[in-house]
Chains A and B, each alone.
Chain A
Amino acid sequence: MRSGIRRVRYFAYRVLVAIRELEDMFPQRSCLALPTIARLVRFNGSSSNTSGPLLPTRKLEPEAPAPLTEEEFSSMTIHGRSLYPPSYHPRTHSVPVAQLQFRAYNHQFLELYMHFVGHAAAALGIPISRPVYLPTQRSLWTVPRGPFVHKKSQENFERKVHKRAIKAWDADPEVVDRWVRYIARHAMPGVGLRVTQWKRAPPGIGQHMVDAAVGTTRPGSGADNVKALAKKIMRQEL
């Protein structure tokens, strides 16, 4: 029986230690768990926590951070950072916002452009993925060397398309727009860029798009126009 009591006290002590550790990690939320554990401890007669009625001592809402001064901001700049790979911001909510796809016939300018894009995103605070290496497309053409006959001697030509993709999360659509425009303005020769952006739309967007499209169908094209014309032909000529 005595070992039973000791076991309960030990258990209560271990739980208190765990709660204290939790407090350090999540200061706002752990104050809810303290009262029940403290009651348990007091019932068993140990005196590890004999403070008065438990009240949350920490403020539940953190203060807003003070805006940076010019000196603070300029001191945060890492000079010569383009010599090193870009730093990657951690994702806050993992909400995908954009996907960029880059294609080029050779990889040198593509790699340089990736480096530039990564640094630009780091400067703007956009969480992005590392560049994803999509499979290279290879087209091969085998053609006879001569203009006429002589099929047995041919020559091979190829064209490789190197592809990379970068995904962006969490940032404001305006920030992503600026990033994309900045990248496009300083585009690398021979590298093509395709941007897919996802934005939040208000409810009722589907109906709005349908209403906008209703008046814009071009006359004189499409299967319905063919059928209407066929009916007209049948009436007039046949």
Chain B
Amino acid sequence: MPNARVLRDIKARNIVKANEVLRRAYLYVARNETLSPQVRHQAQLQLNTFGKYTRPTTVKNRCAESGRGRGIISEFALCRYQFRLKALKLELPGVRKASW
């Protein structure tokens, strides 16, 4: 069973994907300087009613093994310690101990 934070992140990713086009449309209206200020303000108020999981900033890369939020290597979706453990067991293709 993955981490509670990992589950929250998965939920966020799904909801962001579902609402992205709608959110962008409202943003387009709110940021458009050719429209009247009343319309723009209305659009911004509507945007504020969207929940937090619709915002793409809620999405955070997490370690696939431990759920750690910091020290993530994106290419492997692992935190630095898990990356080291797997690399030493030769479970990561092509990765070897560097020496030069």
Which A residues fall within an 8 A CB radius of B?
105-106, 139-141, 143-147, 155-161, 220-221, 225-227, 229-230, 233-234, 237-238
Contact = CB atoms under 8 A, between A and B. Distances in A.
Question: Which secondary structure dominates where chain A touches chain B?
Answer: mixed
Nearest to B38: A238
Interface in B73-90: 73, 75, 80-81, 83-84, 87
A238 B84 contact: no
Given A233-B43, A234-B39, A226 B24 contact: yes
B21 A220 contact: yes
Interface residues of B, number: 27
Contact of B26 (A139, A147, A220, A233): A233
B28 A230 contact: yes
B25 A226 contact: yes
B21 A230 contact: no
Q: Which of A143, A225, A237 has most B Cβ within 10 Å? A: A143
Interface of B: 21-22, 24-26, 28-29, 35, 39, 42-43, 46, 71, 73, 75, 80-81, 83-84, 87, 93-99
A157 B21 contact: no
B94 A155 contact: no
A157 B97 contact: yes
A141 B87 CA distance: 11
